Amino acid sequence: MTSFEEIYQRFFNKIENDRDFFVYFNVTDNEAIEIARKRAKDFLIESVTRLTLSCTPDVNFHDYSLEQERFNFELTGNEIELLSSLMREEYFKRDLAKLKAFMHHFSTRDLNLFSPANERKTFIDMVEKITEENDKNIKRYISIDRLTGKYKAINYAAYNK
């Protein structure tokens, strides 16, 4: 059984320099940690859905307990890494959605008072790059055996019947 906490920690390490995720006003440190964990849990569930919609894994990633915050099977290191990377993508995609809404609400002139265009473009490019990397990692993940790490072989004899 793999605890959600293992995946949260990997995710937190990926975004540790993003103060916005960890800083909340008028709350204690313990409350801030709980808010961060709640948000991470939401990102994890979204990431599981993204993974299972993108491919057909060898295990059922929807076999988890929300109350106990754990998967009902042991995840491999590669699966923990993949899910934490997908969580990072989901996190940045929310900011991307806010940015796009902001861009449609204000004129180009208004936007240039707050943020130069190349900063917005750099952020958009970063999110696109993270998405592309995750797409490649999902393809790589589905093409190897989750336990041995060896590439899966296609049984062509099964198709000749």
Question: What does the pLDDT look like over 38-73, one tens digit per residue?
Answer: 999 999 999 999 999 999 999 999 999 999 999 999
User: Can you give the pLDDT at residue 123?
Assistant: 82
Residue 113: pLDDT band by 50, 70, 90 thresholds?
Answer: very low
E-strand stretches of the chain: 2-3, 64-65, 70-71
At 144 the three-state DSSP class reads strand
Per domain, the residue ranges of the chain are: 2-153
User: Can you give the pLDDT at residue 106?
Assistant: 54
Residue 83 CB coordination number (10 Å):
25
Instruction: Write the CA distances from 134 to 8, 58, 113, 117, 126, integer angstroms.
Output: 17, 18, 34, 26, 12
Looking at every residue in the chain, the average pLDDT score rounds to: 85
User: Can you give the pLDDT at residue 51?
Assistant: 97
